Amino acid sequence: MIIVMERTATKENVQRAVNLLEEHGFRVIVHEGDVHTCIDALGDKTTLTPGRVSALDGVKEVKVIREPFRLASRDRKSEDTVIEFSNGVKIGGKNRPVFIVGPCSVDSDYAGLLQVATAAKEMGCEFLRGGAFKPRTSPYDFQGLEEEALKMMAKAKEETGLLLVTEVMDSQDLPMISDYVDVVQIGARNMQNFKLLKAVGKANIPVVLKRGPANTIREFLLAAEHIMYNGNEQVILCERGIRTFDDKYTRNTLDLTAVPVIKKLSHLPIIVDPSHATGQRYLIEPMSKAALVVGADGIMMEVHHDPENALSDGKQSLPIPMFKDVIKRLSTLRDQLEYDKTCLSANVK
């Protein structure tokens, strides 16, 4: 780190900072400028955090050179992380982007869920998503069918072979949920639920971690770091839009810059969810195309057999015929981009 002292800092202030740094094993070089004194300090920030140094009298600013997300960072691991599933599907690196599709919430109509799963399989999608435990803004809205929904998803997997993704909201449910699905999702609202991050960090299951609507890219990567720090490196990031001021036409603003930025900063795969990002079914196709072009490792989208009667997020869910048309065009684009994606990821590193 580099410590910039105040113009008014005394010699004692500088010495106090130097002593503290040296006591913690830092190698220190002091530059006495005409106006400000700067201290270069090389060492392990786990023993002395930048926050503690910035609290010292006479310290103006502490600049951290290395990113704070150590395990998730490209500096630690230059090659892309690839997450591989038992059926050979892979997410990340130079593998072709995956499609994760399904209803926002699984409702009691198993036939409807199977219609979606069958269409997904037919169109070459890899994953069926479905909400069993729903994080709803209002307590009066549908909260999810819990284990009953997971049983229906497992049945749909038996019939189609699709891999399963569902959200976990409480660490107590994690063992039960992990018995049914291939990937657990941490929803946007829980991105900084550190106890939950720790719990999935201790589990041995891939995790889709969604970006909180009001969180920075740095906070997003630090949330991933919590999971990795606790032992689970199988993290798939998901950009799903950030809080917008223009909520008349879109639910959130889809921050597609996050994709190349994260590819530059981190080796983890990143997918994009245009359904929650936009809240509008007509925007799913254009924003999915854009996401593929900027190098996303996958697309998550909501699909329902009867969106008008869906118990959540019907407005942003594709009905099956429209889903088939959209996926057909996205698959064509995905094939065209296969070569370009290699170039893209090489360029951003």
Lookup: tokens for 136: 């709803």
Residue among 72, 104, 128, 294 that touches Mn ion (CB under 5 A): 104
Query: Which is nearest to 194 in space by CA: 176, 212, 180, 216?
Result: 212
| Residues 297-316: x where in contact with Mn ion by CB under 5 A, - otherwise, as a string | ----------------x---
Cα–Cα separations (whole angstroms), residue 219 to 72, 194, 224, 307, 336: 12, 12, 9, 34, 33
174 vs 76: CA distance, rounded Å = 29
Query: Which is nearest to 68 in space by CA: 198, 193, 217?
Result: 217
For residue 239, the cross-strand partners are 272
Lookup: tokens for 318: 């594709």
| Total chain residues near Mn ion (CB under 5 A) | 2
* Minimal distance, residue 323 CB to Mn ion, in Å: 15
* Minimal distance, residue 313 CB to Mn ion, in Å: 4
Which option in Mn ion, ligand PEP, none does residue 187 bind, with CB closer than 5 to 8 A by kind?
A: ligand PEP
* Minimal distance, residue 317 CB to ligand PEP, in Å: 11
Comparing every residue's Cβ against ligand PEP, the nearest one is 187
* Minimal distance, residue 299 CB to Mn ion, in Å: 15
* Minimal distance, residue 258 CB to ligand PEP, in Å: 13
In this structure, the strands spanning 98-102 and 127-129 are parallel
In this structure, the strands spanning 270-272 and 235-239 are parallel
Which option in ligand PEP, Mn ion, none does residue 277 bind, with CB closer than 5 to 8 A by kind?
A: none
Which option in Mn ion, ligand PEP, none does residue 182 bind, with CB closer than 5 to 8 A by kind?
A: none
* Minimal distance, residue 240 CB to ligand PEP, in Å: 4
Which option in Mn ion, ligand PEP, none does residue 91 bind, with CB closer than 5 to 8 A by kind?
A: none
The answer to whether residue 273 forms part of the interface with Mn ion (CB under 5 A) is: no
The binding site for ligand PEP (CB under 6 A) comprises 104, 131, 135, 167, 187-189, 210, 240, 273, 276
Closer Cβ to Mn ion, 126 or 313, answer by number = 313
301 vs 317: CA distance, rounded Å = 8
Comparing every residue's Cβ against Mn ion, the nearest one is 104
168 vs 186: CA distance, rounded Å = 6
**Amino acid identity, position 268:** L
Closer Cβ to ligand PEP, 226 or 276, answer by number = 276
* DSSP SS3 for 241: coil
Task: Find the angle CA(81)-CA(135)-CA(184) to the nearest 5 degrees.
Answer: 30
Which option in ligand PEP, Mn ion, none does residue 240 bind, with CB closer than 5 to 8 A by kind?
A: ligand PEP
Residues that bind Mn ion (CB under 5 A): 104, 313
